[in-house]
Amino acid sequence: MTQKLFHIFRNTPLGRETLLQSIYFCQKMGVRPTIYIPEATKFLMYFENDVVQVDLDSSYLNDPDTAVSHVEQLLNEAKIKPELFTPKNFTASTLPDIPTSFEFMCCPRSISDLSSKIGLGYIGPRVRRIIQAARFPVLITSPVYKPWQTIAVFFGGSANAVNALRLGIRLAKITGMPLDIYTQVGKNTPAEYRSIVQDKGLEKRLESVLNQWTFFEKGRFEDNLYDVPHNALVVLGAYGHGIIRDIMFGSMMEKIQSTISNNLLIAGPKYTMIG
C-alpha cells in the first residue's frame, strides 16, 4: 500500500510554497500527497487519545474557484497524479472529520494564524497538539520553498532523540542523502552518546548512512546552530508536557525551531516507526 502525506492547501502564494515543499518531500520519500482543500475553517482530527479541533484562518478559503486548478497545476508539473481529499464524515454540518491514518502530515509553522502574524520562532498551538497526539511525523516547512540535500538529526540521548535518529536513518536510506548528527555535549561524553546508539542496536544501520557526527563541546547551542547546513532537512524528537495538554519541545528544541529556517520533520512522543 502506498504511503501518503496529508497536506492542507492554502490558495495563496505562501500556500503554494508549502505545497511545493510537500511535493518535494513526497518525491524524495516515494510517498503520495493527499491534498485537502477546505470548504470550512474548522475540522476535527481524531487521534487515539485526543481530539484536535483545528481552526483555520480565512486565507485557507481564499479564491475557491481557482484552488483545485492551482493544486493540479503544481502536481502535474511534478508528474504526480492529483489526489484530492474529500471528507466523508462530519461531526456537524460544517465540522468535517479528518482521518489520522496518514504516514506524514505537512504543516506550516502555524495553521491557525494569519501569515502576517507568523514569526520564525512561532509554532501554533494546534500544530503542537497535532505533534503531541500523532503517530506520524509532522513536516514543518520553511517560509519559502527550499529543497533539502542532506539530513540533520539532533541527538541528545533521550528516548525521543533515539526515535528521531531512527527516523533520520530511515529517510537517509530511502533518499540516498547523507546523514549528519549534531549533539550539544552536556553531562555525557561523546563516547557515551555513541554508546547509547550502540545499546539501541542502531550502530550498524547508522554506519551505512552517516556522513559525520558533530559534537558541540564549547559555545552557546544557538550560536553553534550556524554550522547546520541551510539545505538540510532537520529531524527532531519532541515530548509532551504540561497539565494543560500542550506540548513543550524542551529547551534545545525551542532554540532549534526559533533559530534556523530549515524544514523540520518532528517526531512527537506518540510517534512509532514500523521496521
Average pLDDT in the 246-259 region?
62
Is-contact 123 110, C-beta < 8 A?
yes
Grid coordinates given for 266 = 518532528
What average pLDDT does the chain have? 86
Average pLDDT in the 246-271 region?
75
Give me the CATH code for the 4-140 domain, please. Answer: 3.40.50
Domain definitions of the chain by residue range: 4-140, 150-264
Is-contact 262 234, C-beta < 8 A?
yes
Residue 71 predicted with pLDDT over 90:
yes
The pLDDT tens digits for 149-193 are: 999 999 999 888 999 999 999 999 999 999 999 999 988 899 999
The SS3 of residue 202 is: coil
Length of the chain: 275
Is-contact 127 138, C-beta < 8 A?
yes
pLDDT of residue 162: 92
Handedness of CA 44, 146, 152, 174 (dihedral sign): positive
Does the 150-264 domain belong in CATH 3.40.50.620? yes
Average pLDDT in the 68-75 region?
97
- Calpha distance 41→106 (Å, rounded): 17
Task: Read off the pTM.
Answer: 0.89
Number of C-beta neighbours around residue 171 at 10 A: 23
